[in-house]
Structure 1
Amino acid sequence: MPAWLHTVIWIIAIYIVISILLYYLQDFFLFKPEKLPKEFKFYYDNQVVEEYNLETRDGAVINGLHFKTKNPKGVVLYLKGNSKSIKGWGKFAVDFTRHNYDVIMVDYRGFGKSIGKRSQKALKRDLQYVYNKIRERVSEKYIILYGRSMGSGFATKLASMNHPKMLILDAPYYSLTKVTGRYMPFMPLSILLKYPMPTYKWLKYVNCPVHIIHGTNDKLIPFKSSVKLSEIKPKITRLYPIIGGGHKNMNTFESYHKVLEEIILGEEKPIDLSTTSIGVKHSYKK
């Protein structure tokens, strides 16, 4: 056997082995869960919070928290990122309760106290189940979907299938295939990835107002991904850049909280374009 052919065979074999490992180990790379014992008690200063558990039709248990306010204006379903548990993510609830919005947070399967076999289909089904439970008690016109990082894809999917008041995407990805492709451009991720999470496809079917918040210095999910997403439904979408914001520190920027307040409390008014410069043509006298 020629030496070059022997080398090619080895390269192909190594490529196949890497592909197999990537397929079976991708949960380990994509998800960084923190598991909590059943007896763990959640506590947050100056917050009224109630814990709940929902059992799904396949026997999984979804653990969540309900942060409560007096005379709430509505409810925010907050879908977190791919790490830790709602134990730590719960601190962000105050960004909404301070505006008199209740907040619902859940742990995905395998996170915190939630249990069950994880798959993209199962996660989407779980979150729709949670959404259904919310709208049994609250009209959809009072429901805000907020998706952070990994949760932005799930929030978009929910918005595409339901009729919430608005969709807020915090550091969203165009698709997980695109994100992971930055690190493994030589791998056939469109085939191997069990969680492609095509946010851009789901966004096409969203009809509520869409607000995208993204740090311009995000090294994990580039700001340009939000620019591309904002171009899908431009008439109902607004993009809010947080200058200098990274992927994990946007809540430390005053501009982030100003933007969030504007989104939650602001009332968008239609513009009479006939009174603007949009239709004015340059003219001159001879």
Structure 2
Amino acid sequence: MPYWLHILIIILIAYVVISIALYYLQDYMLFKPEKLPNDFEFYYENQDTKEYNLETRDGAIINGLLFKPKGESKGIVLYLKGNSKSIKGWGKFAVDFTRHGYNVLMVDYRGFGKSTGRRSQKAIKRDLQEVYNKIKERTSENRIILYGRSLGSGFAAKLASMNHPKMLILDAPYYSLTKVTARYAPFMPLSVLIKYPLPTYKWLKYVQCPIHIIHGTNDKLIPYKTSVKLSKVNPKLTKLHTVIGGGHKNLNNFESYHKMIHDILNSTLQDIDLSTTSIHVQHSSKSNKTNI
């Protein structure tokens, strides 16, 4: 056997072995769950909370925590968190919405916190739709806000595409999870291997409510240009909010982020009479040196 053919066969075998390993180990590589015992008691200082457990049709338990505002509620934010830890640690961010008078419901995906069940993209989407349906039993959809953070942005976009919430807020979203992982394994056939493609861009096309995208310019995990690209998918309904200098995990440390949340939650959509603007005015192609 020629030496070059021997080397080629070794490379091909290694490629196949790595591909198989990526397929079966991706859950461990993508998700960083924190398991909590069933008797764990959530506690947040100065926060009024109530714990819920939803049993799904396949027998899994989805654990969630409701944070209540002081006074009458303006609506509810379904907060879909990132891929690490559990709602025990994420709960501290609920105050950014309860302070504006909104209930906040955070849920743990399968295998996170107290939630159980075998994890898959299809199962998580189905679980979250069941959670959304439970919310609809208690309030109207025009009072429901979907907030997706990082990993949760794709699931939030999917929920918004299948329902009619008041608005969709995406925090550090990805174009698709396949695109994100491709940065770290550019030579692997991830479009075939990845079990969680989460094509946010596809689902955004079908969203009919206002879409707000928040992203930091210094995000090293999911580049800011990703949100610029996403903002062009459904441009008439989308507004891009830029946190100058913001990274992937520290947007809450920026005053500009909290001003954005305030403006988003308290804004009302107004139609603009474009006939009174300069939208159709064209610059002259001829240079006029007297004008500055």
With the length of structure 1 as denominator, give the TM-score of the two structures: 0.98
| CA distance in structure 2 between the aligned counterparts of 1:179 and 1:243, rounded to whole angstroms | 22
Q: Which residue identity does 2:18 align to in structure 1? A: I
Residue 95 of structure 2 is matched in structure 1 by 94
Q: Secondary structure at the match of 2:197?
A: coil
| CA distance in structure 2 between the aligned counterparts of 1:114 and 1:268, rounded to whole angstroms | 37
Tell me whether 1:185 sits opposite 2:183 in the alignment: no
TM-superposed CA distance for 1:105, in Å, is 0.3
What are the equivalent positions in structure 2 for 1:120-135 lying under 5 Å apart? 120-135=121-136
What are the equivalent positions in structure 2 for 1:42-61 lying under 5 Å apart? 42-61=42-61
Tell me whether 1:258 sits opposite 2:230 in the alignment: no
The aligned length equals 284
The gaps in structure 1 that reach 5 residues or longer are none
CA deviation map 1:21-79 (0-9, x unaligned): 00000000000000001111001111100001111111100000011122100000000
Residue 4 of structure 1 is matched in structure 2 by 4
Q: Which residue identity does 2:115 align to in structure 1? A: S
What are the equivalent positions in structure 2 for 1:172-251 lying under 5 Å apart? 172-251=173-252
| CA distance in structure 2 between the aligned counterparts of 1:280 and 1:3, rounded to whole angstroms | 69
Q: Which residue identity does 1:184 align to in structure 2? A: A
Residue 146 of structure 1 is matched in structure 2 by 147
Paired-residue identity, %: 75
Residue 105 of structure 1 is matched in structure 2 by 106
Q: Secondary structure at the match of 1:187?
A: coil
TM-superposed CA distance for 1:268, in Å, is 2.5
Tell me whether 1:35 sits opposite 2:38 in the alignment: no
TM-superposed CA distance for 1:282, in Å, is 5.7
What are the equivalent positions in structure 2 for 1:111-122 lying under 5 Å apart? 111-122=112-123
Q: Which residue identity does 1:44 align to in structure 2? A: Y
| CA distance in structure 2 between the aligned counterparts of 1:16 and 1:102, rounded to whole angstroms | 49
What RMSD over aligned residues (CA atoms) do the two structures have, in Å?
1.1
| CA distance in structure 1 between the aligned counterparts of 2:147 and 2:133, rounded to whole angstroms | 16
TM-superposed CA distance for 1:275, in Å, is 1.6
| CA distance in structure 2 between the aligned counterparts of 1:271 and 1:55, rounded to whole angstroms | 46
Q: Which residue identity does 1:102 align to in structure 2? A: N
The gaps in structure 2 that reach 5 residues or longer are 287-292
TM-superposed CA distance for 1:274, in Å, is 1.6
| CA distance in structure 2 between the aligned counterparts of 1:135 and 1:3, rounded to whole angstroms | 66
